């Protein structure tokens, strides 16, 4: 037995070292940095000055950070409800035995194959354009006046709509994998007992998808806190209040912005720790709320 263990160690050691060097060390360093005043991420430790919780107080008192967090929560709540609802709807339809389900599955998932930059550009240039965008063309056909969809008052919702369009297919596939794991015997027995499709969905499908909901909500939370590219595509020149999110605020804090060369890597680290705590809380709550989820098949 000892010989077997000693034989395994050389295979595990490179992965363990890589994990410590590339994941664990940066996490620990970031947490420590969040309590220090640091001008640059590359600054030597001797240049650090202890700030305690001053970095956290600084970011939470910042109006820009508050707006960024508000935008993130709106994306998480409003976008999450819409994305997961449509993803579940499509998953149920595509596993109900309809014809051409492979085609529809591929078509709905297609936006995930396209580069996010290309997808965002398509929406900005060809859907939301005030002059020749598809939405205003449709409004013109209906005899209605076109709208500036990328104006200050609507830009956030335009960005969220485009992001939702590209996200549904990914979560749909996860729901499909969960539905396909449910034994058909349960549905056949329910049909014999007189349960219709809606009753089967509410009493069989949904309860057995609790672990899938937990996974999707966790993935959605991670996607929301890393919402950098879409924000920058809709505000490419300078971060705007209507589209700013915490990770963009983090970047601006650490590396400075146009016309502002002040840098604060310590505050940036505090933002990163705050976002990590947000995801951890979501995962913890999901484990508490969605427990005893799967039957053992």
297: pLDDT confidence band, cut at 50, 70 and 90?
A: very low
Average pLDDT over residues 239-255: 88
Within a domain: 121: no
* Predicted local distance difference test score (pLDDT) of residue 5: 65
Instruction: Compute the residue count for the chain.
Output: 297
More confident residue, 224 or 196: 224
Q: What is the pTM of this model?
A: 0.85
B/e letters for 205-214, b = 16+ CB within 10 Å, e = fewer, are: beebbbebbb
Which residue in 258, 263, 273, 249 sits closest to 37, CA to CA?
263
Q: Comparing 7-16, 73-82, 91-100, which segment has the lowest mean pLDDT?
A: 7-16
Within a domain: 28: no
Average pLDDT over residues 86-101: 89
CATH of the domain at 68: 1.10.3720.10
Domains: count for the chain: 1
Name the residue with tokens 């014809």: 99
Within a domain: 20: no
More confident residue, 47 or 275: 275
Within a domain: 135: no
* Predicted local distance difference test score (pLDDT) of residue 275: 92
Within a domain: 1: no
* Predicted local distance difference test score (pLDDT) of residue 1: 55
C-alpha dist (Å) from residue 16 to 5, 23, 26, 28, 237: 15, 10, 15, 16, 41
Q: Comparing 88-92, 167-171, 219-223, 252-256, which segment has the lowest mean pLDDT?
A: 252-256
Within a domain: 276: yes
Cα separation of 220 and 211, whole Å?
Answer: 14
For the cut 70, the answer to whether the pLDDT of residue 266 exceeds it is yes
Contacts of 90 (CB under 8 A, 6+ apart): 104, 108, 168, 172, 175
Give the model confidence (pLDDT) of 106-118 as tens digits: 999 998 888 888 9
For the cut 80, the answer to whether the pLDDT of residue 167 exceeds it is yes
Range of the domain at 89: 58-98+167-289
Within a domain: 244: yes
Cα separation of 69 and 227, whole Å?
Answer: 12
On average, the pLDDT of the chain sits at 86
Contacts of 137 (CB under 8 A, 6+ apart): none
Within a domain: 225: yes
Question: What is the percent of the chain where pLDDT is above 70?
Answer: 94
* Predicted local distance difference test score (pLDDT) of residue 169: 92
């Amino acid at each position: 037995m000892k010989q077997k263990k000693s034989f395994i160690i050389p295979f595990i050691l490179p992965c363990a070292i890589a994990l410590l060097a590339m994941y664990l060390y940066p996490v620990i360093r970031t947490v420590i940095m969040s309590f220090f005043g640091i001008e640059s991420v590359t600054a030597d430790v001797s240049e650090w000055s202890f700030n305690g919780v001053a970095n956290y107080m600084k970011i939470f008192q910042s109006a820009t950070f508050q707006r960024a967090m508000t935008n993130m929560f709106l994306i998480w709540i409003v976008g999450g409800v819409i994305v997961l609802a449509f993803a579940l709807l499509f998953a149920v339809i595509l596993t109900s035995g309809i014809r051409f389900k492979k085609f529809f599955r591929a078509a709905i998932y297609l936006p995930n194959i396209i580069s996010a930059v290309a997808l965002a550009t398509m929406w900005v240039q060809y859907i939301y354009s005030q002059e020749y965008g598809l939405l205003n063309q449709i409004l013109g056909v209906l005899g209605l006046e076109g709208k500036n969809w990328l104006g200050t008052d609507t830009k956030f919702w335009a960005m969220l709509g485009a992001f939702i369009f590209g996200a549904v297919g990914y979560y749909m596939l996860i729901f499909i994998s969960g539905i396909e794991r449910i034994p058909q015997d349960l549905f056949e027995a329910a049909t014999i007992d007189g349960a219709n499709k809606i009753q089967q969905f509410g009493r069989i499908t949904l309860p057995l998808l609790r672990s899938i909901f937990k996974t999707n909500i966790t993935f959605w939370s991670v996607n929301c806190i890393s919402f950098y590219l879409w924000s920058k595509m809709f505000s490419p020149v300078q971060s705007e209040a209507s589209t700013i999110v915490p990770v963009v605020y983090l970047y601006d804090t650490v590396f400075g912005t146009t016309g502002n060369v002040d840098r604060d890597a310590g505050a940036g680290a505090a933002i990163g720790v705050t976002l990590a705590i947000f995801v951890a809380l979501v995962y913890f709550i999901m484990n508490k709320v969605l427990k005893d989820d799967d039957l053992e098949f």
